[in-house]
Chains A and B, each alone.
Chain A
Amino acid sequence: MEYQIKNISPNNLEQCIKCTICTVYCPVLAVNPDYPGPKQAGPDGERYRLKNPEFYDAALKYCLNCKRCEVACPSNVKIGDIIQTARIRYDKRPVSLRDRMLASTDFMGKMATSMSFIVNTALRMPLTKSVMDLTLGIDHHRSFPAYSSETFESWMRRKAPDQSRFPRRLSYFHGCFVNYNNPALGRDFVKLMNAIGYGVSLLEKERCCGVAKIANKMVDEARRDARLNIGSIRKAVSQGRPVIATSSTCVFTIRDEYPHLLDVDNADVRDSIQLATAFINRLVDEGRVKLVFRKDYRRRITYHTPCHMQKLGWSIHSVSLLRSIPGITLVPLESSCCGIAGTYGFKKENYAYSQAIGRELFDRIIEAGVDLVATDCETCKMQIEMSTGVKVENPVTILAEALDVEATMKANGVI
């Protein structure tokens, strides 16, 4: 008698026992009854789709790809991956101009930063917002983040302090948001890493991590970018430089979505791709690095766990570092989705759902009465700032601001 001992289905499909725990924790299902929910859209639907692709349900587009279903699943079924793979494989509708624009963060960023003043002014005008709403379906409630007049990359090349004098080196995957919209975070990262003895270099070539392209089914383009990124990352790692990012979604995409959704193998370098707070906290935990903070820094802060950070399981790192700042009062905040999910919340048809998903979180943040929300994701930042009026910063910015640079450099033997 022969037995099949191990599960051999892709994404652990066969391990689903139909318990429905995932459906309880799906943020979309709670607000949108037109979404079939993770169990039906994922493992249940997949059984049908494997028989006949005709069973593909267009309502799968409502999935945020937040992966909270996977975090909840006690049987380790990769529910989110099943849903996203199905969208990639079976949804043959052409990609709209709007979706292309939203997903092409690199291209749009390049265009916009070259004439940032005009673009920023135009994007702020109610008329532009109405036109974009009517013609493209980009919801008029949304504000695009302001574009910077100088990209982070060009600042690094021209203005950054000399990075070769530091004893250790790393490469920074800055991501589109830092490059085009928030280069200040990149500068904070350089300041922080320099203080603990790391020189920062750019990757030889960096493209968008691809998260927006995956969400908008521009898979061929996403795969091209992914291969280019992994090529650059491989080169950095082979020269002894780990690759560190400040965006939890960039890190998650490169580490997990590349192999799972894009078939881009990263096994040889995956462990060397790290989130800044995870990288630093590990060094602190192992006693290899010491952070010294200013005595006059006082803030009441709460930490919001982005969905992909929840999936990575790394909020402990950001929270531990923030807690180590003596002047910070950290108010606990229960983890739930903010609703924006990258480009999802920008789309007119999703706007109301996006805000309904985030409602609970917004109320809790307002109730917490904090000076600042810390989070590792740039689109969570946009959403929370827009919906609560509370300022949101990456933990790296907060650490850099609270840091006593000179004392830290001394403590780590940098000066």
Chain B
Amino acid sequence: MKYDTIIIGGGLSGLMAGVKLARSGSKVAIISSGQSALHFYSGSFGLLGHAGGKELLHPLEAIGSLPAGHPYSKIGAESIPALADDAKRIFADAGLTFIGDASKNHFRLTPLGLCEPSWLTMDDYATCENPSETGWRKATIINFKGFLDFLPGFLADGLKKHDLPCNYAEITLPAIERLRRNSSEMRAAAIAKVLKGPVLEMLAAEINRAAGDSDVVFMPAVVGIDSEQPVRELRSMVIPKLLCVPVLPMSVCGMRSQIRLRRYFEQLGGTYFLGDNVTRGYMEGPVLKEIETANLSGMSLQADNFILATGSFFSQGLAAEPDRIYEPVLGADVEAPADRSLWCGKSIFDNQPYMQFGVVTDRDFHVMFNGVPAGNVYAVGAILGGSNPIREGSGGGVAILSALQVARNIIAAGRADMSEAQA
């Protein structure tokens, strides 16, 4: 089977690259070894929240001073605003509504009641422009009886620091009581599956009763597994402002993002192979000609371009053995010290060097094999080295913007080829 581009990895960066390419009319396939890290999504994407030990309000201003190996430096500070706008358009077309803008960070409310700088946050969630002036006067925090993945006490403690008085109310409904029969499986997704149709009306009534004279209600983010519609419905029926707060995974908004982006990709004509693994790649000099997968063994998958979007250690895009760190799919070069003692900081709160390890690429994100950049293999997303997603609050931004940058370059090169051929 022949494609214009094959993307290995079906999470956020793979899907963004896939959608961008498919929008331009390319024939694209995504191969995903299972469901992605989007299922652990907080509801917000960070562009750059912290740099040089400081919290940032204007991330674009700080991007110019990042080290040369940082993915943003490779994209180039001047290209980022346009890519960021493009990302918002793509999300909107996929049916995902975000608030936020690259020019100025807003703040998202964390489950501990803290305010963290963010670039894009899903419309469901609690955010504010300025943590010292949230505009919230009195809050009611609600939780579902028996739901253990949301800790209202922590949230209330954090909110007290913002001088926000909080009530707490526990809600239950017959549909929720049924889930409690299997208490250890009562997670966000299980609740989201029953919160639809008439159950939403019952829930809205309970929330209104519990809210009293509060002007804002915080609830665990457990509504709307494959669309925003149930959140909208619920909001329209609840009198105070209703805002969601992230809970422990699986993240309902993460699943919604995954489902929506994949559906949009497929509507654009893309092919998504779920649950398959790339078993080998055939290189001819610096060019990857074709790959083989476990499910489609014996059948070659050819493409003009390949994008490696397999993620970091968590998604097994990078793998560690006692004496080496490597890229397991294609065997690309990885930048990581051989000395194991340099991989980790001593305390979990120290800077962790392994967070910055990744495959080696040139400035256009061409992947290096034995020091030579491949002509048609790119890396995007968490597999890239040079950034520290946790310290910087940049994971979402790197995944989205590197994917769009590579897709843009592939599209531009294709156009150049075509006009050359025409000439």
Contacts and interface: CB of A to CB of B under 8 A. Distances in A.
Contact of B249 (A20, A76, A334): A20
A14 to B, nearest CB: 14
B274 A310 contact: yes
A273 to B, nearest CB: 12
Nearest to B293: A313
B73 interface: no
Contacts of B297: 271
B185 A72 contact: no
A72 B273 contact: no
B149 to A, nearest CB: 10
Contacts, number: 94
B179 interface: yes
B250 A316 contact: no
Interface string A6-44: 000000000000011101110001100111110010000
A334 B184 CA distance: 29
Contact of B34 (A34, A40, A71): A71
A19 B249 contact: yes
B193 A40 contact: no
A74 B190 contact: no
A3 B182 CA distance: 39
B190 A29 contact: yes
Interface size class on chain B is: 35 or more
B390 interface: no
A73 interface: yes
Contacts of A5: 321-322
Contacts of A33: 178-179, 181-182, 185
Nearest to B194: A30
Nearest to B315: A74
Contacts of B277: 76
B369 to A, nearest CB: 23
Contact of B187 (A20, A36, A271, A316): A20
Interface string A285-327: 1000000000000000000000000111110100000000000
Tell me if A's interface is mostly helix, strand, loop or mixed: loop
A3 B320 CA distance: 12
A71 B274 contact: yes
Contacts of B316: 74-75
Contacts of B1: 285, 316
Contacts of B274: 71-72, 310, 313
B35 A72 contact: yes
A247 to B, nearest CB: 18
B39 interface: yes
Interface in B26-42: 33-37, 39-40
Contact of B298 (A21, A23, A271): A271
Contacts of B374: none
Contact of B35 (A36, A37, A74, A310): A74
A3 B273 contact: no
Contacts of A314: 295-296
A330 to B, nearest CB: 12
B17 interface: no
A73 B179 CA distance: 23
B129 interface: no
A29 B322 contact: no
B70 to A, nearest CB: 27
Interface centre among A19, A24, A30, A313 (most CB of B within 10 A): A24
Q: What 10 A-B pairs have minimum CB-CB distances, sorted nearest first?
A: A313-B295, A71-B275, A74-B34, A33-B181, A33-B182, A3-B322, A24-B189, A72-B35, A21-B35, A313-B276
Interface of B: 1, 33-37, 39-40, 178-179, 181-182, 184-185, 187, 189-190, 193, 249-250, 255, 263, 266-267, 271, 273-277, 293-299, 315-316, 321-322
8 contacts: A23-B189, A24-B39, A34-B181, A35-B182, A72-B275, A75-B34, A285-B1, A314-B295
